[in-house]
Amino acid sequence: MIYFDNAATTFPKPKNVLKEVRRCIEKYCGNPGRSSHSLSVKTSEKIFETRECIAKFLNAENAENIVFTQNATYALNLAIKTQIPENSHILISNFEHNSVFRPVYSLSKKGKVSYSIFDFSNFEKDIPNLINKDTSCIISILSSNVNGKTIDFKKLSSLAQKHGLKLIIDASQYVGHKRINLKETPCDILCAPGHKALFGIQGAGFVYFKENSSADSFIEGGSGTTSSSPDMPDYLPEKYEAGTLPSPSVISISEGIKFINEVGIDEIENKSLSLTQMAKERLLNIAGVIFYGADNGVLSFNYNDIPSYVISDELNKRGICTRGGLHCAPLAHRCIGTTSHGSVRLSFSFLNKKREVEYFYSAIKDICKQYT
């Protein structure tokens, strides 16, 4: 099996990730922050170690401002639904995933906010023209899950600061691929999953808040602290971490980051770009292939007017995992003109190999011949 669906979730996981997850489940997986016995304390320590590991990886100031969630979608909903004032105006890009678009649309439908969509490719000129007296926030991906298109984070950060706007970042397809330094390139909130390019297992993501949030809690329940009060704690991370954390999933993130640090983030980025470019060059040799872009480990294409799911299914029959369809990003597909059939997406991990790209090339040539 060849796995080219790493933008959805990375597979396989590094050995150190699997080893520590198993060790957690077998040796010390108590309920963190709920008891004083050794298994609970050990799990709490490993979770705090993960906060510190993420903070260091992002060059973020306060590890306690990292809130763990079940995934990036939950993280973005938490940020959008607690940090944006009612009756304000929001700017989102035309390449946003539904994890941003749907919560923003939902708030708009309820009359709580209004929003405008800026051109991801021309954001420096477009955003200033869309700002009005009620604009409070810019929400943007850093890299597209459809074709890898990437925004200049430094320029976006500077633009938000210049206009006094809050900046919420969806780093789902960026973190683990490219270096992030939040002291050099600040944002107010950054959301990310653990199971994609950070090589963690499914079940945990996180939100980083630059400042301690003054907004209301998002869900309520047990926090392990201030239990006598009917209110949630008013400090991070407990304010937004009601209930038992998915300890093995959270802990897997720090192990994934350790793997990235051992390999080197620059080496990972270079490998990802190399595989993307190689696949692009091979596909451009096939007449009838329609190409929609390739960058940052993600490539998107179609063959003539064949629906993307047909091509993806044919590849699966040959042991190659890709993803056809709209990739939960209809705004992006509207931009590239593929809303009817979507596109076939390849997405690479550091653990993929060049020979796998060559095998894919051989397979896609045969498939295209069948539909000529």
Q: How confident is the model at residue 212 (pLDDT cuts 50, 70, 90)?
A: confident
Q: Which of 258, 238, 257 is nearest to 44 (CA)?
A: 238
Q: Which of 347, 367, 344 is nearest to 357 (CA)?
A: 347
Q: Which of 322, 249, 364 is nearest to 7 (CA)?
A: 322
Mean pLDDT of 231-251: 92
- The residues, ordered by sequence, that sit 6+ positions from 200 with a Cβ below 8 Å of its Cβ are 13, 17, 193, 194, 249, 252, 253, 255, 256
- The residues, ordered by sequence, that sit 6+ positions from 149 with a Cβ below 8 Å of its Cβ are 95, 120, 121, 143, 293, 295
Q: Tokens 């949630």 correspond to what residue?
A: 232
Is it the case that residue 10 has pLDDT exceeding 80?
yes
Handedness of CA 180, 182, 185, 190 (dihedral sign): positive
Across the chain, what does the average pLDDT equal? Answer: 96
Per-residue pLDDT tens over the stretch 122-163: 999 999 999 999 999 999 999 999 999 999 999 999 999 999
Q: Two tokens at 357?
A: 């790209």
Q: How far is CA 137 from CA 119, 120, 176, 263, 351, in A?
A: 16, 15, 25, 36, 37
> In the chain, pLDDT over 90 holds for what percent of residues?
91
Q: Provide the pLDDT for residue 46.
A: 96
Q: Provide the pLDDT for residue 372.
A: 84
Per-residue pLDDT tens over the stretch 24-74: 999 999 999 888 899 999 999 999 999 999 999 999 999 999 999 999 999
Is it the case that residue 213 has pLDDT exceeding 80?
no
Q: Provide the pLDDT for residue 284.
A: 95
